[in-house]
């Protein structure tokens, strides 16, 4: 049935009026805080339910409402907002900011150190001063007998470093002590030249690749006698020319035996931790050494090895890093820190809020607020990484890792010597 245009217009008008009707007034009992706020008296003494739109146009009713009392039922202090809690308590994680090349006005290229590296270094020193690591008591620099002659002390330091490859500090220290106590005349060049290879192999039988190291030590002793006047070389080139001695051992030996810092001894811990810190992005120990020597002050070249080896042995281990015990992770200075993901702890806190209006009336509102507690920095789960510890203390990273195909081949070749 068709309707006239007048009837259609009338129907639209009635529909529009019906949608704009003001809802009936209700009592304050059982209404929400926002609704109670909208029914407070205006400047004329009458109440309105038109909502916040009218107040925004000039009424100052909202400014007359003040919180005069907040009583917490929870013993903890409640921050102003949940968003503030989440922002302030989130475990921070530093950005990777490696050293970078900078060209000055003269066109010279120099390396600018990583931002904040001094703070990281200082905090690491403070942390290490409270931790006794195996390298502090059984490191290769501490194994030479103080009662021996300077020449024999240098030789003992070299032998300790040669034995330390792929071997824990405690095992290396025991092997060196065995040589010092049982070799006729003690541990010196003449004793090594005189001892039979099989006997020497028995003395060092608990160190990694002892058969290969026996051959290296015997050959090196002959070279020292014939080419270096029965002393160890005083140059990096001379030290690395010895069988079984790589750059890491050479730089450490030069510092410990001759007291000259000509380079940084980079082992697995120095290589791994400085990359975790974001100081550089390197793939090999030699790349790490070159990157560090380009900007690290020379007075720290010798110290950084013991500093980071001890940290890697106790806190920042290759597997199972204890980031929860590290001050660098706590202060958000380590980009490689292991932080809990998706495990925000939440709790509900009740509190009462009393508000007062212009007419002196009080309205009490009970609120329940969800508070996000601090995200925790956790220790790395060893089981998640395979459960096998790879933390050789001072090892020559030029050698293959144990368990790999290259390592098995090396053991086969070693057994044929």
- C-alpha–C-alpha distance, residues 194 and 184, integer Å: 9
pLDDT at 107 over 50: yes
pLDDT at 287 over 90: yes
Binned at pLDDT 50, 70 and 90, residue 148 comes out as: very high
pLDDT (0 to 100) of residue 388: 32
* Domains (range + CATH), the chain: 67-96+323-381 (no CATH), 117-318+390-402+407-415 (1.10.340.30)
pLDDT (0 to 100) of residue 141: 87
Share of residues in the chain with pLDDT > 70 (%): 61
pLDDT (0 to 100) of residue 109: 84
pLDDT (0 to 100) of residue 120: 96
pLDDT at 217 over 70: yes
For CA atoms 41, 42, 44, 49, give the dihedral sign: negative
Enumerate residues 6+ apart whose C-beta is below 8 A from 291. Answer: 99, 274, 279, 280, 282
User: Distance of CA 416 to CAs 96, 98, 412, Å?
Assistant: 47, 45, 7
- C-alpha–C-alpha distance, residues 170 and 164, integer Å: 10
Is residue 248 flagged as an active site residue?
Answer: yes
**Hey, which of 67-81, 218-232, 387-401 has the most confident mean pLDDT?**
218-232
Binned at pLDDT 50, 70 and 90, residue 2 comes out as: low
CB of 160 closer than 8 Å to CB of 140: yes
Listed range (134-143, 274-283, 332-341) with the worst mean pLDDT: 332-341
User: Distance of CA 24 to CAs 21, 256, 295, Å?
Assistant: 9, 91, 77
CB of 74 closer than 8 Å to CB of 349: yes
pLDDT at 292 over 90: yes
**Hey, which of 64-68, 74-78, 130-134, 336-340 has the most confident mean pLDDT?**
130-134
Statement: the pTM of the whole predicted model exceeds 0.75 = no
Burial bucket for residue 327 (CB in 10 Å: 0-12, 13-18, 19+): middle
Name the catalytic one among 213, 215, 248, 378: 248
Average pLDDT value over all residues in the chain: 76
């Amino acid at each position: 049935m068709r309707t006239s245009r007048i009837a259609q217009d009338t129907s639209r008008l009635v529909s529009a009026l019906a949608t704009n009707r003001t809802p009936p007034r209700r009592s304050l009992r059982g209404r929400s805080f926002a609704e109670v706020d909208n029914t407070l008296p205006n400047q004329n003494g009458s109440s309105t339910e038109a909502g916040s739109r009218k107040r925004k146009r000039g009424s100052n009713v909202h400014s007359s409402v003040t919180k005069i009392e907040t009583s917490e039922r929870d013993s903890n202090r409640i921050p102003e907002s949940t968003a503030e809690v989440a922002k302030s308590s989130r475990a921070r994680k530093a950005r990777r900011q490696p050293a970078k090349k900078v060209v000055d006005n003269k066109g010279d290229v120099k390396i600018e150190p990583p931002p904040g590296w001094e703070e990281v270094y200082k905090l690491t020193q403070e942390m290490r001063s409270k931790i006794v690591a195996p390298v502090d008591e059984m490191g290769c620099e501490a194994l030479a007998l103080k009662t021996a002659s300077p020449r024999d002390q240098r030789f003992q330091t070299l032998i300790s470093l040669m034995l330390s490859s792929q071997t824990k500090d405690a095992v290396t220290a025991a092997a060196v002590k065995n040589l010092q106590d049982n070799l006729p005349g003690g541990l010196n060049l003449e004793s090594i030249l005189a001892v039979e290879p099989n006997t020497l192999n028995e003395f060092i039988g608990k160190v990694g690749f002892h058969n290969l190291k026996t051959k290296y030590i015997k050959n090196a002793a002959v070279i020292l006698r014939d080419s270096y006047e029965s002393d160890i070389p005083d140059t990096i080139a001379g030290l690395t020319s010895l069988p079984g001695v790589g750059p890491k051992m050479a730089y450490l030996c030069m510092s410990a035996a001759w007291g000259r810092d000509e380079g940084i001894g980079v082992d697995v811990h120095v290589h791994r931790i400085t990359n975790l810190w974001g100081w550089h992005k390197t793939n090999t120990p030699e790349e790490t050494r070159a990157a560090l020597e380009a900007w690290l002050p020379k007075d720290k070249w010798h110290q950084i090895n013991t500093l980071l080896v001890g940290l890697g042995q106790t806190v920042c281990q290759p597997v199972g890093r204890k980031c929860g015990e590290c001050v660098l992770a706590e202060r958000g200075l380590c980009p490689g820190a292991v932080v809990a993901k998706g495990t925000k702890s939440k709790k509900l806190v009740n509190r009462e809020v009393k508000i007062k209006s212009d007419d002196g009336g009080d309205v009490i509102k009970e609120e329940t607020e969800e508070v996000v507690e601090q995200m925790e920095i956790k220790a790395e789960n060893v089981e998640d990484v395979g459960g096998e510890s790879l933390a050789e203390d001072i090892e020559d990273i030029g050698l293959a890792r144990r368990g790999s195909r290259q390592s098995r081949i090396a053991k086969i070749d070693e057994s044929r010597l």
